[in-house]
Structure 1
Amino acid sequence: MNCAAQVVAKAAPTGVARAHPLPLSAVRLRPSDYATAVEVNRNYLRRLSPDRLLHNFHLYAGMTPKAPIYGGWESDTIAGHSLGHYMTALVHTYRQTGDPEMRRRADYIVDELAAAQAKRGNGYVGGLGRKRPDGKIVDGEEIFPEIMKGDIRSGGFDLNGSWSPLYTVHKLFAGLLDVDAGWGNRRAIAVAEGLGGYFERVFAALTPAQVQQVLGCEYGGLNESYAELYARTGNQRWLRMAELIYDNRVLDPLTRQEDKLANFHANTQVPKLIGLARIHEVKGGDPAKATAARFFWATVVHHHSYVIGGNADREYFSAPDTIADHVTEQTCEHCNTYNMLKLTRQLWSWQPEGALFDYYERAHLNHVMSAQNPANGGFTYMTPLMTGAERGYSTVDDDAFWCCVGSGMESHAKHGESIFWEGDDGTFYVNLYIPADATWAKRRAQVTLDTRYPFEPTSTLTFAKVRAGRFPVALRIPAWAKDKAVITVNDEPVTPVLARGYAIVERQWQAHDRIAITLPLELRIETAPGSDQLVSVLRGPMVLAADLGPVAEKWQRADPALVGADLLAGFTAADAATGRYATRGIVRPADLTFVPFYRQYERRSAVYFKRFTDAAWVKEEAAYNAEQARLRDIAARSVDVMHLGEMQPERDHDLKSESSYPVTYRGRQGRDVRSGGYVDFAMKVKPGPLILQATYWGSETKRDFDILVDNVKIATQRLDNDKPGAFFDVSYPIPVGVTKGKPSVRVKIVPHDRNTAGPIFGVRIYTAAAAGVA
């Protein structure tokens, strides 16, 4: 992603000042999409019931729940993670808006957690569950004595029958620490210390190898929580715990500045680096940890990120610089960007570099702002970049509470947190051009940032009040603006000092002084990592999308392509104030309107386009349109799709298996079934002739396996170097009698004796084409 100048892993040079954001409580947003998002989110938080989120915490402590539990993930074994996010969101909203109800709810939750912790009597408090073999979900605490005895059954997302339990513990830790930071609620610290002591005892019982086995299951930023607990209390035991929680397999290569991220679950990794960065801060310097954090950031941003600043396809990193091969309906999990922005803030505070906030701005505007629907406050899980894909937002009802609902309610509570910063050397930084008023205590200043950026080019900072004196003001100049930024002071042009991505003006400032920056909001083309032929269109920091119509209308046409020698010449501003552009003669098969991607909440979009010269298009058009039509036809006729080897789809389809293992190959997830095992999962069906389609890798050596639908064998498949070097699909007609009168069936894959099955890289059921239709 060409969003910023390269930032490399290096120690901060002597003399470069550290910097700190103005407190969120000192910033008030002026009217804008950001202010709307905060208000929509505040109403969402008010609609949520603290007692429903506390249900399991009460129940598992032997107390009577005060309200029924929510559904979705809150009724699964990951229950409790939402409460931690909710606590943090309440704190941010209180500080951003001053709403006293937010503080009242947060204090109430801490009191209830303290009571539940006291009732248990061992320091533990939690709402996470554990699924027993009979399917019953019980108090998840019962897994930890097992682990202490060395009985550890750890997978990427399952630990002894509980779904990412330490991830859930981290969210609770973070919420408690944030309530304390918000207004000094010391009971929150006491609960956090009790919880910290409980898990200190769990880890103390383990050998180093067993610690690594436990850390093989997603644990969020638990290392960060312990480092923060140390920072608050000064107790060395918490620092020792922070350093103990270190995943050798992932973090060692990063300290060596090696990119081995391909096929790792992306959001599992980002919090580990935030934790390393925090340990580096609280220890007073740890070069290896700082190097790992910086290298990870630069690697993800420049080699694993999409044009909107998000990363990962179906939650996993692919090989570096292969984004062009992974533009799917499952791109850009919101949690990943939420965490990447946290890491960006940390790194910038060590060494102010405009390139860091070039990325922050891009991801914040294009991804975070697209992940909330202002109509109802719902949140996306993924932000799909595949042409015509629907975003899909949560509701406040019982069908959601996935991880990105939690990070979403946090993200939209704090849009004022990164606009204004002050350096230890007295510099006043403006990093984001979001309209806001702020109090700068150090200078007894009241400042206003007035702007309609990125829709209009000028942003004006006014010192309504200020203790007169000489100090620098630094305005970020995005890398894409190059040398075209114009700076004025009190409407007079000035020549600033240009350094580290900033225009710096140092002078004797006084009340009513104004400094303004005007940035060139010109259109430009960016290529996708992995292919110069796949491009996106941007205006300043804003990604534009072709508007393909409302989500109520399915997109079943060929993906649009851009054709011509000078693509930008085919764009005309239809309404610059809203970022709308018309096209003429450059889009195939027909002209389209381009609009800000993030505002396409309930509309379908195209963000990535194959581009062709006029001559190349003549040669490619027939084949291109035929392939697109084939893919769209299959997608339109699809009844259900199963992404094997991926956490949430396997849960959604009630996957059961023996001797079956997730695999990843060439960026695609799947499942491999060993001899004597099977994999079995539910899929939806509908009346009429249906086809089951499975995807395989074409270079597999000889193996045979059966495919059954509701225990009826529909095919025996042999794989034997069928299509070397490529994935390929095989379609199997399903006998009509097998699905007649049923809403769903179970698909079972069983290897022959002394054979394996697959790997299978996805299964799809779709309707057979009508007679006479190709």
Structure 2
Amino acid sequence: MEPLDIRNVHLLENELLRREAENRRYLLSLGNRELLFNYLMEAGKISIPYLPDDILGGWESPTCQLRGHFLGHWLSAAAWQIYETGDAELKAKSDAIIRELDECQQNNGGQWVGPIPEKYLDLIARGKQVWAPQYTLHKLFMGLIDQNRLAGNELALKIADRFADWFDAWSAKFTREQFDDILDVETGGMLEVWADLLDLTGEEKYRRLLKRYYRGRLFEPLLRGEDPLTNMHANTTIPEILGCARAWEVTGEQKWLDITKAYWKCAVDDRGTFATGGQTQGEIWTPKNKLKARLGDKNQEHCTVYNMIRLADFLFRCEGDPKYLHYIEQNFHNGVEAQTYWQGDPQNGHPGKGLLTYFLPLKAGMHKTWAGERDSFFCCHGTMVQANAALARGLYYQESGSLCVAQYADSDAEFFVDGETKVTLQLRRDAMNGSWQKSSVNNVANSIAAVQSAPDNRPDYEKFDLKFTMKTSADFRLLLRVPKWIQAPASIYLNGSLIAKTEDTAKLFPIDRTWQDGDIVTVLFPIGLRFVPLPDDPQTGAFCYGPDVLAGITDVERVLTLEQDDPTAELSPDTERQWGTFLTRFRTETQDPGINFIPLKEIGYQNYQVYFRVKKPKHETEKGKE
């Protein structure tokens, strides 16, 4: 399967559109000179006796060894936005930046174009401590490649190709063992770069670089079924595996795919995840299924969320297994949405916005720490702008004779059957609220009708309507992802008639049919509260509602003493509806004081708790034994 081209998907989901707009605003708010400052300094194009006030701070500061990494992320995010919408303003800005990079490369002698000195890599080779130079340079390569592939900038490819000549000559100086020592320090995502450039140019030097950057000390244990990941830095290895995935796509060599699958098995299937879908504490992989001791203030680095979503997308395209789509949904709701571009009501003197939280704390009583727009520029700052660009990616996939609905968001999608018949799919969430009134301003139709109060409480199912429009009938298979979080069998209707009920979330549900203009498929997904325990402590868990993890608002750790065996019976709806919207709000029934729960992605500046230890009631037989 391949993702449906996002230029054929018209996104209509309000929250996703808001995020895209915020992301675009932020990309445009950063000046060209600010983004290029470290490149211009390294190329000798500017010389100043002091740092100007408008310089970018944090990891972009000229005093940081990672300086310049963000520009690569910026170019990639802008490229996706240009590809999706043809954004002329971002295109002009990107082209101007790339022309400046070309001049920097010429000033540096025609090959090097990094924002850091070449000697950083030589220092690594000599065993000296330098902070991740290949990580920094990989980001620039990535941005240039995306600008070429997605935005059509030919100069970007020329710059990347000339820069690769430097790496080809440099890496040739070392024996296999010496270069393995270098790779053990860090490699960034250079494997993916060489695979991309091999695909774009066909040049033999990229096959040499793929071979040199093969990290046998990590890959071979994975292939043997061992666990080299426990307590290992996560986001230095995920990009390497993304490189293996891309190398398989370009070369077809089976070993690359075998490594990729072995990594997923070791990192996810055998290791387990938090209820959010994410992993890690302090940027390292936890021990397998031992998460309790790793609930901390530095869980779920955003970079790992974004890069593992990319890996899940690749594996779904290879295998067609919806477990990867479930993983993406879980991580997007409780990672990307929970950690970037938060918007809500002002809280405790704080603004109603938050840009980025590098980590997502899961230790009780913690809070999110939001980064500034010009003073942080962590690695996650870069994946933030990439994750929120072109959010129609991954909603639909297509292969010969079939269309897969992977994620459910309001959208229109156009696709062709047999390369001829054009079909338009309109996917809409039924809010089932009976009103469009979104605020206290009564500026919309609010006529009296039966639908206004039906249903009277928040429905216990999610409903989506899929309507097909076409000029002639078309034969194809519709594949529907049935979410992993359903509470009962999903109901699937065709033109108002029930055609199936299914609890099977391990397969995509198929509908084979000669489709007619106006056909409507309706799906009902039963939704409700779930208590998701830690794998190593069944008495400690998180509350979830559908794909959303809930957070209890509390300054201190709380233990829940239950009156019933089922922990979800302790929570009841709270502030269920506001104007024309059903809200996801809950409160405890018997705790003193009570605790209010809202989706983790809606937490702004409050202190909160995700994982709760529960004390279940003692039954009469147990009391008698005592």
Band the TM-score falls in, shorter-chain normalisation: 0.7 to 0.9
Structure 2 partner of 1:571: 571
Give the secondary-structure state (helix, strand or coil) at the position aligned to 1:495: strand
CA contact 1:91–1:179 (8 Å) conserved in 2? yes
Matched, 1:72 2:77: no
Structure 2 partner of 1:740: none
Aligned pairs (5 A) from 1:664-675: none
Letter in 2 for 1:101: E
Aligned pairs (5 A) from 1:180-579: 180-286=148-254, 288-302=255-269, 303-375=271-343, 376=353, 378-397=355-374, 399-423=375-399, 425-441=400-416, 442=419, 443-451=421-429, 457-465=462-470, 468-481=473-486, 484-495=489-500, 500-548=506-554, 555=555, 557-564=556-563, 565-574=565-574, 575=576, 577-579=582-584
CA contact 1:546–1:607 (8 Å) conserved in 2? yes
Per-residue CA distance 1:415-460 (angstroms, 9 max, x = gap): 210101102x321001111112223255423322111689960122
RMSD of equivalent CA atoms: 2.3
CA contact 1:496–1:505 (8 Å) conserved in 2? no
How many Å separate the matches in 1 of 2:137 and 2:463? Answer: 45
Structure 2 partner of 1:94: 82
CA contact 1:41–1:377 (8 Å) conserved in 2? no
Structure 2 CA distance for partners of 1:456 and 1:547, relative to 1, 3 Å: farther
How far residue 166 of structure 1 moved from its aligned partner, in angstroms, is 0.2
Give the secondary-structure state (helix, strand or coil) at the position aligned to 1:216: helix
Letter in 1 for 2:387: S
How many Å separate the matches in 1 of 2:467 and 2:356? Answer: 35
Structure 1 partner of 2:449: none
How far residue 406 of structure 1 moved from its aligned partner, in angstroms, is 0.5
Aligned pairs (5 A) from 1:134-213: 140-144=117-121, 152-154=126-128, 158-159=129-130, 163-213=131-181
Structure 2 partner of 1:591: 594
Letter in 2 for 1:195: F
CA contact 1:243–1:279 (8 Å) conserved in 2? no
Structure 2 CA distance for partners of 1:414 and 1:65, relative to 1, 3 Å: farther
How far residue 118 of structure 1 moved from its aligned partner, in angstroms, is 1.6
Structure 2 CA distance for partners of 1:455 and 1:91, relative to 1, 3 Å: farther
Aligned pairs (5 A) from 1:691-770: none
How many Å separate the matches in 2 of 1:180 and 1:455? Answer: 47
CA contact 1:373–1:393 (8 Å) conserved in 2? no
How many Å separate the matches in 2 of 1:254 and 1:562? Answer: 43
How many Å separate the matches in 1 of 2:47 and 2:79? Answer: 24
How far residue 309 of structure 1 moved from its aligned partner, in angstroms, is 1.3
Q: Greater strand percent: which structure?
A: 1
How far residue 145 of structure 1 moved from its aligned partner, in angstroms, is 5.3
CA contact 2:559–2:614 (8 Å) conserved in 1? no
Per-residue CA distance 1:677-713 (angstroms, 9 max, x = gap): xxxxxxxxxxxxxxxxxxxxxxxxxxxxxxxxxxxxx
Structure 2 partner of 1:5: none
How many Å separate the matches in 2 of 1:455 and 1:232? Answer: 50
Q: How many residues align?
A: 567
Structure 2 CA distance for partners of 1:126 and 1:444, relative to 1, 3 Å: same
Letter in 1 for 2:263: F
How many Å separate the matches in 2 of 1:113 and 1:466? Answer: 49
Give the secondary-structure state (helix, strand or coil) at the position aligned to 2:476: strand
How far residue 353 of structure 1 moved from its aligned partner, in angstroms, is 0.8
How many Å separate the matches in 2 of 1:528 and 1:145? Answer: 45
How far residue 482 of structure 1 moved from its aligned partner, in angstroms, is 7.0
Per-residue CA distance 1:737-771 (angstroms, 9 max, x = gap): xxxxxxxxxxxxxxxxxxxxxxxxxxxxxxxxxxx
How far residue 50 of structure 1 moved from its aligned partner, in angstroms, is 2.3
CA contact 1:24–1:92 (8 Å) conserved in 2? no
Unaligned runs of 5+ in 1: 1-18, 129-139, 549-554, 620-774
Structure 2 CA distance for partners of 1:378 and 1:285, relative to 1, 3 Å: same
CA contact 2:540–2:611 (8 Å) conserved in 1? yes
Give the secondary-structure state (helix, strand or coil) at the position aligned to 2:111: coil
How many Å separate the matches in 2 of 1:396 and 1:516? Answer: 42
How far residue 579 of structure 1 moved from its aligned partner, in angstroms, is 1.1
How many Å separate the matches in 2 of 1:200 and 1:452? Answer: 55
How far residue 143 of structure 1 moved from its aligned partner, in angstroms, is 3.2
How many Å separate the matches in 1 of 2:612 and 2:243? Answer: 38
When the two structures are superposed, what TM-score results if normalisation uses the length of structure 1? 0.70
* Higher RCO by CA contacts (8 Å cutoff, separation 6 or greater): 2
When the two structures are superposed, what TM-score results if normalisation uses the length of structure 2? 0.86
How many Å separate the matches in 2 of 1:391 and 1:97? Answer: 33
How far residue 562 of structure 1 moved from its aligned partner, in angstroms, is 4.8
How far residue 171 of structure 1 moved from its aligned partner, in angstroms, is 0.5
Structure 2 partner of 1:655: none
Letter in 1 for 2:389: A
Letter in 2 for 1:31: E
Unaligned runs of 5+ in 2: 344-352, 432-458
- Percentage of identical aligned residues: 28
How many Å separate the matches in 2 of 1:247 and 1:55? Answer: 33
What is the aligned counterpart of 1:83 among 71, 94, 99?
71
Letter in 2 for 1:186: E
CA contact 2:489–2:501 (8 Å) conserved in 1? no
How far residue 249 of structure 1 moved from its aligned partner, in angstroms, is 2.6
Structure 1 partner of 2:452: none
How many Å separate the matches in 2 of 1:455 and 1:391? Answer: 31
Structure 2 partner of 1:36: 18
Structure 2 CA distance for partners of 1:434 and 1:299, relative to 1, 3 Å: farther
Structure 2 CA distance for partners of 1:499 and 1:239, relative to 1, 3 Å: farther
Structure 2 partner of 1:639: none
How many Å separate the matches in 2 of 1:421 and 1:478? Answer: 16
How many Å separate the matches in 2 of 1:65 and 1:457? Answer: 59
How far residue 614 of structure 1 moved from its aligned partner, in angstroms, is 2.9
Give the secondary-structure state (helix, strand or coil) at the position aligned to 1:438: strand
Give the secondary-structure state (helix, strand or coil) at the position aligned to 1:582: strand
CA contact 2:423–2:470 (8 Å) conserved in 1? yes
How many Å separate the matches in 2 of 1:242 and 1:464? Answer: 46
Give the secondary-structure state (helix, strand or coil) at the position aligned to 1:349: helix
Structure 2 CA distance for partners of 1:513 and 1:392, relative to 1, 3 Å: same
How many Å separate the matches in 2 of 1:276 and 1:249? Answer: 14
How many Å separate the matches in 1 of 2:98 and 2:461? Answer: 44
How many Å separate the matches in 2 of 1:300 and 1:466? Answer: 47
How far residue 33 of structure 1 moved from its aligned partner, in angstroms, is 1.9
Higher CA-based Rg:
1
CA contact 1:28–1:97 (8 Å) conserved in 2? no
How many Å separate the matches in 2 of 1:283 and 1:41? Answer: 35
Give the secondary-structure state (helix, strand or coil) at the position aligned to 2:127: coil
